[in-house]
């Protein structure tokens, strides 16, 4: 009896450690699968975990073992996908026969694994709390294992083994449930903080820190792929007057609408950032200077045509000035690319605003 308890405790430690390691090295667990490849990988890994649990199982006889290999199948069904649950059950079933031989206990183990894998699928789709799904899944496990074990275990050890196993399953499933809940809360909090660290709080687009990171990676990709990368530096004209005349809420409204206009005027692959105050930077991916000028003009017109209304009912317009530079047409120096766009912006504002200017083309030696 002491040996059974000790071996089940080792099983539980392996299970918890595996979940913890997957959360560390596999970018979070549990994680709902979005494609077939992810489903297969998750199911395969869960199946491997079940195999490891079998290797460190409790030996009742030379062919009869007890362990927690069914818990990973339940986790796949409740947190990943039906396909993941089925794949894990299949992997565990094949290993049971390959490692322990084809016999009555192995066949019954395969039946149990497939019943749990298939049975937990409708449970996972219930419109209820995850805690209730865990309860229903564990009840299914206990019932199926008890019925099957009654046919293969000797009556002398059946009750003692089943009592220890059921108590162990309840305890470990309760622990795994709370552990996974903690991981989910932690991963969600981490994701939220990570998003906030690279997102402008007002407009929801990229901020200065994320823009710098994106700029270096985009420039590197443009060099490697022999593509163009254009930079659009944008400043809202007379933004201080908008705040002074209509209030800071009006200014916030302008910033949000300008950001939305960027999103509609640019490609999905372009990177739009608010780098502070009323200044924006747009990285136009795989876009030469000529096409960048078209984007800038479209953006300028869309912003100019929008009618704003203050809280007091006064209508007013908003315009922007834009500076453009392009790699490798205006410079092949990554640092100069931003500086050129900034200089072109200053030129646009100096020449009357509500316009765009671009850096001169790089002279090529003949």
Give the residue carrying structure tokens 């979940």.
19
Let me know: does 262 contact 295? Beta carbons within 8 Å. no
Q: Note the pLDDT tens digit of each residue in 12-58.
A: 888 888 888 877 766 555 555 567 888 888 899 999 999 999 888 87
Give the rounded percent of residues in the chain with a pLDDT score beyond 70: 93
Give the active site residues.
278
Task: Spell out the CATH class of 208-358.
Answer: alpha beta
pTM of the complete model: 0.64
Contact 342, 323 (CB under 8 A): yes
What number is the average pLDDT over the span 136-150?
A: 92
Backbone angles phi, psi at 292, to 5 degrees: -65, -35
Confidence of residue 366 (pLDDT cuts 50, 70, 90): very low
Fold entry, domain 2-198: Arp2/3 complex 21 kDa subunit ARPC3 (1.10.1760)
Q: CATH 1.10.1760.20 residue ranges in the chain?
A: 2-198
Tell me how far apart the alpha carbons of residues 268 and 284 are, in angstroms, rounded to a whole number. 10
The 10s digit of each residue's pLDDT in 217-260 is 999 999 999 999 999 999 999 999 999 999 889 999 999 999 99
Among 59-73, 205-219, 224-238, name the one with the lowest average pLDDT.
Answer: 59-73
* Tens digit of each residue's pLDDT (9 = 90 or more) over 266-292: 999 999 999 989 999 999 999 999 999
Q: Which two tokens stand for residue 11?
A: 């099983």
| Start and end residues for every CATH 3.30.70.270 domain found in the chain | 208-358
């Amino acid at each position: 009896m002491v040996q059974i308890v000790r071996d089940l405790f080792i099983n539980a430690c392996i299970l918890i450690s595996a979940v913890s390691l997957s959360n560390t090295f596999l970018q979070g667990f549990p994680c709902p699968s979005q494609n077939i490849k992810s489903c297969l990988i998750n199911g395969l890994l869960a199946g491997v975990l079940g195999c490891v649990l079998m290797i460190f199982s409790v030996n009742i006889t030379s062919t009869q073992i007890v362990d927690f290999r069914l818990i990973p199948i339940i986790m796949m069904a409740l947190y990943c996908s039906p396909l993941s649950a089925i794949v894990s059950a299949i992997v565990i079933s094949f290993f049971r026969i390959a490692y322990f031989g084809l016999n009555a206990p192995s066949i019954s183990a395969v039946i149990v694994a497939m019943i749990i894998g298939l049975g937990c699928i409708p449970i996972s789709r219930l419109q209820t709390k995850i805690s209730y799904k865990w309860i229903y899944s564990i009840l299914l496990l206990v019932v199926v294992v008890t019925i099957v074990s009654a046919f293969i275990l000797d009556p002398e050890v059946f009750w003692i083994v089943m009592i220890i196993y059921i108590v162990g399953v309840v305890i470990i499933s309760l622990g795994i449930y709370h552990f996974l809940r903690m991981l989910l809360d932690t991963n969600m909090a981490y994701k939220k903080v990570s998003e906030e660290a690279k997102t402008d709080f007002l407009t929801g687009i990229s901020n200065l820190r994320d823009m710098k990171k994106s700029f270096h990676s985009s420039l590197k990709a443009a060099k490697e792929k022999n593509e163009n990368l254009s930079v659009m530096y944008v400043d809202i004209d007379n933004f201080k007057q908008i705040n002074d005349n209509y209030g800071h809420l009006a200014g916030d409204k302008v910033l949000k609408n300008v950001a939305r206009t960027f999103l509609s005027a640019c490609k999905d692959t372009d990177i739009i950032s608010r780098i502070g105050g009323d200044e924006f930077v747009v990285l136009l991916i795989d876009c030469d200077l000529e096409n960048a000028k078209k984007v800038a003009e479209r953006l300028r017109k869309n912003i100019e045509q929008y009618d704003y209304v203050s809280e007091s009912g006064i209508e007013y317009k908003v315009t922007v000035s834009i500076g453009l530079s392009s790699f490798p047409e205006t410079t092949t120096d990554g640092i100069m690319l931003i500086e050129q766009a900034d200089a072109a912006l200053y030129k646009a504002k100096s020449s009357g605003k509500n316009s765009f200017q671009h850096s001169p083309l790089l002279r090529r030696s003949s």
